[in-house]
């Protein structure tokens, strides 16, 4: 993992044209490993620069979830950090760690369509759910208004209609002024978004 992370950061700097003395800017990093965003953010800050946005795709939970000694991705690693949770408490972290945290299907550990069981602890249903993070995000990029999420204190409040009236869209059309935990539902198969999946329609309000 150390070798991969180091390569990732070095490659990132090379792609951006960064050097010890050269200029550069970084707009957006996608982090699947919980440590990549942390390490990238730290390396960037040490160079006197800042990452505009990090998107955490169900960042890794084992050894980081609830652990003080091993700090993972956090809202301080970039100007804006959005996190998509699809397998919290198993392969993904079960904590709000971003500027905005998206809890897919109310933070269910098993996403719709991933109900197949396995023998081991990290069964097929959990790996399937973990992989849904990038599938949802890819679909959100293609169809920017397909994944509408509502701000709420928790899932129960959201289901009871006690959520805040604030809604945002998951993906590159996200409102970067948003803060907090947002809940959304998905379909069990493509198209995963419950909103406008024609990829061309824009909301009227």
Q: pLDDT tens digits, residue range 151-190?
A: 998 887 776 666 567 899 999 889 999 999 999 999 999 9
Number of structural domains in the chain: 1
Q: Is the pLDDT of residue 11 over 60?
A: no
88 phi and psi angles, rounded to 5 deg = -65, 140
- Where residue 59 falls among pLDDT bands split at 50, 70, 90? confident
Helix (H) or strand (E) holding 83: strand 80-85
Nearest CA to 193 out of 175, 172, 171, 177 is that of 171
Q: Regarding predicted confidence, which is higher, 172 or 23?
A: 172
Give the CATH number for residue 46. 3.40.50.1820
What is the pTM (predicted TM-score) of this model? 0.76
Which range of residues forms the domain containing residue 156? 2-9+25-184
What is the number of other CB atoms lying within 10 angstroms of the CB of residue 121?
A: 8
| Domain-located, residue 196 | no
pLDDT at 155: 80
pLDDT at 178: 96
- The whole-number average pLDDT for the span 42-49 is 67
pLDDT in tens, 72-124: 778 888 889 999 999 998 888 899 999 999 999 998 999 999 976 555 545 78
Q: Is the pLDDT of residue 2 over 90?
A: no
| Domain-located, residue 201 | no
| Domain-located, residue 191 | no
| Domain-located, residue 40 | yes
């Amino acid at each position: 993992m150390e070798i991969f992370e180091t390569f990732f950061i070095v490659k990132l700097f090379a792609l951006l044209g960064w050097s010890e003395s050269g200029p550069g800017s970084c707009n957006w990093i996608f982090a699947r490993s919980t440590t990549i965003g942390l390490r990238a953010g730290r390396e960037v800050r040490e160079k006197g620069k800042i990452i505009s946005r990090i998107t955490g795709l169900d960042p890794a939970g084992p050894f980081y979830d609830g652990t003080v000694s091993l700090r993972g991705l956090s809202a301080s690693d970039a100007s804006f950090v959005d996190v998509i949770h699809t397998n919290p408490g198993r392969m993904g972290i079960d904590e709000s760690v971003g500027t905005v945290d998206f809890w897919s299907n109310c933070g269910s550990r098993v996403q719709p369509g991933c109900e197949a069981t396995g023998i081991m602890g990290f069964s097929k249903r959990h790996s399937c759910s973990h992989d849904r993070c990038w599938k949802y995000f890819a679909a959100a990029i293609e169809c920017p208004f397909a994944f509408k999420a509502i701000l709420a204190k928790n899932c129960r409040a959201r289901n009871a209609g006690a959520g805040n009236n604030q809604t945002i869209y998951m993906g590159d059309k996200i409102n970067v002024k948003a803060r907090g935990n947002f809940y959304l539902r998905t379909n069990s198969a493509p198209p995963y978004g419950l909103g406008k999946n024609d990829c061309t329609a824009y909301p009227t309000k």
